[in-house]
């Protein structure tokens, strides 16, 4: 899915200041910032909600119409452990609201302001809490759960530092369009704005990195807010929603009304409509007029993989994928050009550069894909289909644009293409032959130096031994790019990585979420030593939860990607990118196997290429979790590489840290 800018949600109108809207008799708007307090401590029972998305105030007429369309009945077939008229704590209402949304797993770390929620979780027969060892680990695990399953991930943290530890995960989920519901405890209402112990205005802090967020100031609002949060997180362009719940609300007794209407008239009115048949026919006409078309597919295609494969079958158009789109079209297919962009294949970038028609589906023309915007697809007419209108024309102006659910748009195009005259309509064989020549001339490759292990080879072997069926998570850096290049993803949601934000430390906790959501799958965290150590504490979670996660640690004792840029652009001057012990450079430091051993996880270290295949096979065959520490030369570079801001003509295909530049 196209990723959002960090200063707006998913809408095109300018965002207003965040405000609390009240439906009590004395309606008023005021900022919730602590700098405008003291607030009245007599909150009574207003219906209060924090708005952070750019939702213009709807007209009275549209408000009435839309409100009627989104009233839904309470969840059927749900058996509550409480009698209908039995008072229960707000925390129990919150947990039951999650149960009614079908939640079975949460990633929650307790604290003073959230312990009522944890007490309520112990009373739930439906929800399992996977206890992370750090709140960032919890939200990255929730992301791994969501990315691998397509269902919203749920994480819970306490107030203050617990809540702020979620910030990187929220930003990551917004940029990569991941459905998350994050719940935070907050100090009691009367203490908000007083600099109370472990108080942070988390609604203010996360305003620009959530799709929407709420501060609950009335216990009776919990059922509606939770339902709205799930709707917002999963509809349109998915994203993170935060719910901040003061402790006194959690403790307050109430009888919930599960039949409250959802109150999102502005949002509902702006959800994309069915794509226009005229626009779809125009796209088909452009395809028929084209000689060198190419598909540029992103994360927005993950839910439309079946329709995308059908479209390619009908047209024979080659497919280049973004980092986020890997798996939406099988990487093993002869029409796959694999990844494009800064570290994409030469032939994928060649195809875009020489194309006369660029079909941009579920993408956002990110700078790591386009490089120099003026030179990107400069010969091509551009068709852009995306669910988020804010992305259309933001970076690259399309000739034809459709703001719609890509699944519906592809179904419509395929229906047109499947007409009686579809047979033999398109012949792009000459174009495909041209690209096949590029594949032969510039294949993804690597060199081997004596007995050293090429990291690319390690991933190739993993691909072979798992038959390309594993769910792969990564940290961020060189290992991430090699994992994108050399593992052939065959289906959507098989590839979990921090794309837009590039958050190191993502891989290990994301693997936890994937393992919880997919208990029968092979889960492998391909990690780097720098990223791995950022959330190494989650090894404890893996052990305690008995999660069979395999960790393929590509260890070069450096921050590899930054080091690569030092080699290429800073005359190899090392500026704090060495992660080992300078006094003992001949030794591997730290000893990663000791971290695993401390958590009761078996592991091994391998340094010779000849031993690698057997070591990976042992890792895969060992029941439960396993850490394989693969030592490789720090001089390795990720290639191809188009320098930042460069164009296809600037592509680098040779060299490494053994060469001076």
Instruction: Please report where in the chains the tokens 């060992």 appear, as a residue.
Output: 622
Cα separation, 101 vs 97, in Å, equals 7
Q: Annotated catalytic residue: which of 198, 282, 537, 605?
A: 198
Tokens of 650: 């600037």
135 labelled catalytic: yes
Residues in the chain: 661
Smallest CA-to-CA distance from 227 within 362, 121, 72 is with 72
- Torsion sign (Cα): 132, 136, 138, 144: negative
- Collapsed DSSP state (helix, strand, coil) of residue 306: helix
Per DSSP, the residues of 309-374 read: HHHHHHH---EEE-TTTTTSS-TTSTTEEEE-STTS-HHHHHHHHH-SEEEEES----HHHHSSGG
Q: d(Cα 290, Cα 659) in Å, to the nearest integer? A: 43
Is there a catalytic annotation at residue 197? yes
- C-alpha neighbours within 13 Å on the C-beta side of residue 142: 37
Host H or E run for residue 515: helix 507-517
Tell the burial category of 150 from Cβ atoms under 10 Å away from its Cβ (0-12, 13-18, 19+): middle
Of 197, 203, 219, nearest in space to 52 by CA = 203
How many Cβ atoms are within 10 Å of 654's Cβ, its own excluded? 9
- Based on the residue annotation, tell me whether 119 is a catalytic residue of this protein: no
Give the count of beta carbons closer than 10 Å to the beta carbon of residue 194. 14
Give the residue among 105, 220, 226 at the shortest CA–CA distance from 154. 105
What string of DSSP letters covers 114-173? THHHHHHHHT-SS-EE---SSHHHHHHHHHHHHHHHSSPEEEEE-STHHHHTTHHHHHHH
> Is position 532 annotated as part of the catalytic site?
no
Out of 342, 561, 592, 641, which one is annotated catalytic? 561
Residue among 135, 143, 391, 538 flagged as catalytic:
135
**Residues 527, 537: Cα–Cα separation, whole Å:** 14
Cβ partners under 8 Å of residue 638, min gap 6 = 343, 478, 481, 482, 485, 561, 564
Q: Calculate Rg over the CA atoms of the chain.
A: 26
Active site residue 247: yes
Q: Please state whether the peptide bond connecting residue 640 to the residue before it is cis, i.e. omega within 30 degrees of 0.
A: yes
CB atoms inside a 10 Å sphere around CB 614:
11
Distance, in Å, from the CA atom of 262 to the CA atom of 243, rounded to the nearest integer, reads 15
Q: Which of 89, 211, 247, 407 is catalytic?
A: 247
Degrees, nearest 5: CA angle 547-482-152 = 45
Please give the positions annotated as active site: 135, 197-198, 247, 561
């Amino acid at each position: 899915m196209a990723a959002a800018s960090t200063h707006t949600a998913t809408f095109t109108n300018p965002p207003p200041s965040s405000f609390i809207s009240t439906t009590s008799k004395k309606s008023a708007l005021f900022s919730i910032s602590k700098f405008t307090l003291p607030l009245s401590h007599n909150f009574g029972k207003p219906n209060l909600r924090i708005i952070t998305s750019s939702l213009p105030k709807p007209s009275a007429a549209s408000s009435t119409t839309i409100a009627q369309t989104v009233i839904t009945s309470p969840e059927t077939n749900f058996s509550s452990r409480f009698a209908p008229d039995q008072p229960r704590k707000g925390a129990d209402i919150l947990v039951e609201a999650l149960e009614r949304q079908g939640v079975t797993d949460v990633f929650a770390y307790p604290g003073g302001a959230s312990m009522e929620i944890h007490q309520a979780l112990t009373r739930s027969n439906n929800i399992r809490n996977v206890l992370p060892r750090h709140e960032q680990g919890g939200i990255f695990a929730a992301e791994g759960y969501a990315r691998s399953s397509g269902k919203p991930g749920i994480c819970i943290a306490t107030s203050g530092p617990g809540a702020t530890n979620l910030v990187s995960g929220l930003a990551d989920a917004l940029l990569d369009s991941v459905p998350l519901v994050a719940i935070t405890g907050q100090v009691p209402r009367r203490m908000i704005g007083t600099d109370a112990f472990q108080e942070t205005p988390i609604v203010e802090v996360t305003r620009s990195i959530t799709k929407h967020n709420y501060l609950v100031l009335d216990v009776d609002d919990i059922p509606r807010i939770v339902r709205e949060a799930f709707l917002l997180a999963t509809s349109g362009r998915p994203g993170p929603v935060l719910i901040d719940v003061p402790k006194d609300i959690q403790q307050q007794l109430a009888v919930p009304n599960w039949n409250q209407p959802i109150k999102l008239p502005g949002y509902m009115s702006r959800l994309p409509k069915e794509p226009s048949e005229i626009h779809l026919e125009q796209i088909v006409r452009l395809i028929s007029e084209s000689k060198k078309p190419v598909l540029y597919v992103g994360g927005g295609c993950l839910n439309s993989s079946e329709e995308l494969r059908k479209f390619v079958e009908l047209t024979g158009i080659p497919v280049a994928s973004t980092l986020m789109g890997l798996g939406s079209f099988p990487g093993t297919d002869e029409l796959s050009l694999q990844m494009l962009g800064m570290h994409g294949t030469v032939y994928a970038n060649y195809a875009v550069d020489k194309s006369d028609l660029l079909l941009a589906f579920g993408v956002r023309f990110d700078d790591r894909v386009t490089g120099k915007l003026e030179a990107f697809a400069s010969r091509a007419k551009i068709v852009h289909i995306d669910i988020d209108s804010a992305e259309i024309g933001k970076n690259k102006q399309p000739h034809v644009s459709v703001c719609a659910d890509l699944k519906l748009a592809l179904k419509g195009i395929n229906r047109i293409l499947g007409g009686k005259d579809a047979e033999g309509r398109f012949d792009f064989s000459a174009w495909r032959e041209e690209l096949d020549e590029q594949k032969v001339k510039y294949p993804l490759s690597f060199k081997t130096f004596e007995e050293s292990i090429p990291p690319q080879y390690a991933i190739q072997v993993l691909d072979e031994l798992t038959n390309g069926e594993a769910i792969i998570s990564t940290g961020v850096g060189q290992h991430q790019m090699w994992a994108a290049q050399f593992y052939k993803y065959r289906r959507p949601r098989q590839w979990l990585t921090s794309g837009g934000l590039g958050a190191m430390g993502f891989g290990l906790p994301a693997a936890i979420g994937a393992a919880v959501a997919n208990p029968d799958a092979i889960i492998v965290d391909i990690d780097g030593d720098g990223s791995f150590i950022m959330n190494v504490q989650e090894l404890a979670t893996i052990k305690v939860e008995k999660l069979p996660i395999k960790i393929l640690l590509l260890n070069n004792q450096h921050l590899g990607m930054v080091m690569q840029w030092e080699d290429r652009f800073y005359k190899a001057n090392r500026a704090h990118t060495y992660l080992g012990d300078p006094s003992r450079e001949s030794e591997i430091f730290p000893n990663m196997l000791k971290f695993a051993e401390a958590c009761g996880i078996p592991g091994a270290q391998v340094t010779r290429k000849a031993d690698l295949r057997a070591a990976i096979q042992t890792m895969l065959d060992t029941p439960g979790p396993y850490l394989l520490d693969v030592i490789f030369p720090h001089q390795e570079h990720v290639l191809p590489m188009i320098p930042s801001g460069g164009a296809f003509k600037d592509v680098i295909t040779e060299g490494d840290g053994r060469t001076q530049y």
